[in-house]
Amino acid sequence: MKTLKEPLFLVTSTPYRDSDIIVNLLSSRNGKLSAIVYNGRKLGKTSSFLYQPGDLLDVEYRIKESDDFIRILNIAGKSILNARDFSYKRFLFHSYLLEIISKISQPGNPSGELFEILADNNRCSWAAKQILYFIGRFIWQLIQHSGFGVDYHTCKNCQRQTWQVDENRGPVFRKEQYRFHHDSGAMVCSSCSPITDIKETLTPAMLKVIWILDNTARDEAPPAGIPDAIMVDVIKCLNQYLLQRYGIRPKSLPLFFDSLKPLP
Ligand SMILES: [Zn+2]
């Protein structure tokens, strides 16, 4: 049994018995941890545990060797989100992001990248105009974390480049449709293999957005002028790839996808 003190992200919080809560937490060093917060849930108006999933907490805890169940000694807020200020879109994506992280984080595995994604989520401005771009960027980060990155540079079959550098315009993508090769994350062009399902189509405009996601630093402002409709197509396409790679189907997916539709 050793005692540690470190910042942990609250990932899930579930009522347990009459007055307790079961929490999942993410440690950069120790991966997913679980604990019971005794009397965290009081009947009546007040609760002793006011934190929400996504909050960063300073936690002092006891842990046994090779165990992911911890005993919390002390807890204090470090970076607290104000979920009441979230827009509807952000609220649904937030729930979705945390559900994915709770499903893919593992006990005992160092989780520096997932921890950084949650830290970015807290630092992000989430400005209404850029919200779709930010959602796309987080899904791109999750794909990078999965170790099954997307290769959007060449057709897997004919090896032709999908894009060329133009000195004035940056990357210019071939006028060609592509789809994902499901097993490898590479692209196949429609000349090599006709695309039968329109939902699987990746257009040159979508590949360009993927290029931007890949080549824009996390703390850099997103470029202006990406049409919402293309951003939504990219989000859906990358997201489908991510879920397939992990073999997961989060419960919050349908509501999150519904929120991507433009408001009338
Ligand atoms: Zn090809």
Instruction: Note whether 63 and 33 are within 8 A (CB).
Output: yes
**What is the pLDDT at residue 35?**
97
User: 150 C-alpha to center of ligand 1: Å?
Assistant: 16
Radius of gyration of the chain (CA): 21
User: 205 C-alpha to center of ligand 1: Å?
Assistant: 18
The domain spans of the chain are 2-83, 124-259
pLDDT digit string (tens) for 199-209? 889 999 999 99
**What is the pLDDT at residue 263?**
60
pLDDT digit string (tens) for 45-85? 666 788 999 999 999 999 988 788 999 999 999 999 998 88
pLDDT digit string (tens) for 88-123? 999 999 999 999 999 999 999 889 999 999 999 999
User: 177 C-alpha to center of ligand 1: Å?
Assistant: 10
What gap in Å lies between CA 32 and CA 108, rounded to an integer?
A: 7
User: 193 C-alpha to center of ligand 1: Å?
Assistant: 7
pLDDT digit string (tens) for 186-200? 999 999 999 888 888
User: 113 C-alpha to center of ligand 1: Å?
Assistant: 33
Residue bearing the bigger pLDDT, 148 or 25 = 25
pLDDT for residue 237 is more than 90 = yes
User: 204 C-alpha to center of ligand 1: Å?
Assistant: 14
User: 166 C-alpha to center of ligand 1: Å?
Assistant: 21
Q: Which residues 6+ apart lie within 8 Å of 130 measured at CB?
A: 222
User: 162 C-alpha to center of ligand 1: Å?
Assistant: 9
User: 190 C-alpha to center of ligand 1: Å?
Assistant: 7
Mean pLDDT of 116-141: 95
This prediction's pTM: 0.93
User: 239 C-alpha to center of ligand 1: Å?
Assistant: 23
Assigned CATH for 124-259: 1.20.1440.120
**Architecture label for domain 2-83:** Beta Barrel (2.40)
Residue 173 C-alpha from the chain's centroid? 27
User: 161 C-alpha to center of ligand 1: Å?
Assistant: 9
User: 149 C-alpha to center of ligand 1: Å?
Assistant: 19
Question: Across-strand partners of 4?
Answer: 61
User: 257 C-alpha to center of ligand 1: Å?
Assistant: 31
